[in-house]
Amino acid sequence: MRRGITPLLWTLFSTGGTLAAFLFPVHLFLTGVAFPLGWLEPPSYEFALGLLRHPLTRLYFLVLIALPLFHWAHRFRYTLYDGLKIKHLTLLIVVFTYGAALAGSLAAAYTLFWCVP
């Protein structure tokens, strides 16, 4: 009954896209615009570290980084197929997109679960 892993990739794309849709605007607004421009105070190091030490926060960030990366990988793969008509380079594109997403996810997991003091 299993037909390749496309349904899995689409599910990753969907969940990543939903997470990004709900959470990225507020996070990007704060980190990229409000804090740098001084509209709001960024969290102090102590507070940020305290938050990050909590296992739930670490899980939150893992999911927040990994799933949207797979969302990008799946979507960008098809954008390259249809936008640049390079479907014949499919192997290269698949390796590049999902490979990059995997690398990012692994880097996030490593940082969050091995590097937080």
Partner 1 sequence: MTETVTLEVTRYRPEQEAEPTTQTYEVPFRKDWVVLDALNYVKDRLDGTLSYRWSCRMGVCGSCGMMVNGEPKLTCAAFLTDSLPGPIRVEPLQFFPIIRDLVVDLTDFLKKLKRVKPWLVREKEKPLAEGEYRQTPEELDLYQQFSMCINCMLCYAACPVYGLEPSFIGPAAIALAQRYNLDSRDQAAPERMEILAEHGGIWECTFVGECTKVCPKNVDPAGAIQQYKLASATDWFKSLLLPRGAR
Partner 2 sequence: MSGPVRYTLHHPKWYRRPVSVWWWLESWRYAKFVLRELTSLAVAWFALLALWKVRAIATGPEAYAAFLTRLQSPFWVGVNAVALVFVLYHTVTWLNLAPKAMVVRVGGERVPDRVIQGMNYLLWAAVSAAALWVLERG
Task: Give the range of 37-45, 49-57, 80-88, 96-104 binding partner 1 by CB under 8 A.
Answer: 80-88
Return the residue matching tokens 């980190």. Answer: 31
Own/partner pairs, 112-116, CB within 8 angstroms, 24+ separation:
112/52, 112/58, 112/61, 112/62, 113/58, 113/62, 116/49, 116/52, 116/53, 116/58
With CB under 8 A as the contact rule, which of the stretches 1-9, 38-46, 59-67, 104-112 interacts with partner 1? Answer: 1-9
Find the shortest distance in angstroms from Cβ 83 to partner 2.
6
The one-letter amino acid code at 14 reads: S
CA dihedral over 19, 22, 26, 28, signed as positive or negative: positive
35 Cβ contact list (under 8 Å, min separation 6)? 41, 42
Among 12, 71, 93, 98, binds partner 2 (CB under 8 A): 71
Counting contacts by CB under 8 A, is residue 98 touching partner 2?
Answer: no
Residues that bind partner 1 (CB under 8 A): 1-3, 6-8, 10-11, 14, 78, 81-82, 85, 87
Residues that bind partner 2 (CB under 8 A): 16-18, 20-33, 35-37, 40-52, 61, 64-66, 68-69, 71-72, 75-76, 78-79, 82-85, 104, 107-108, 111-112, 115-117
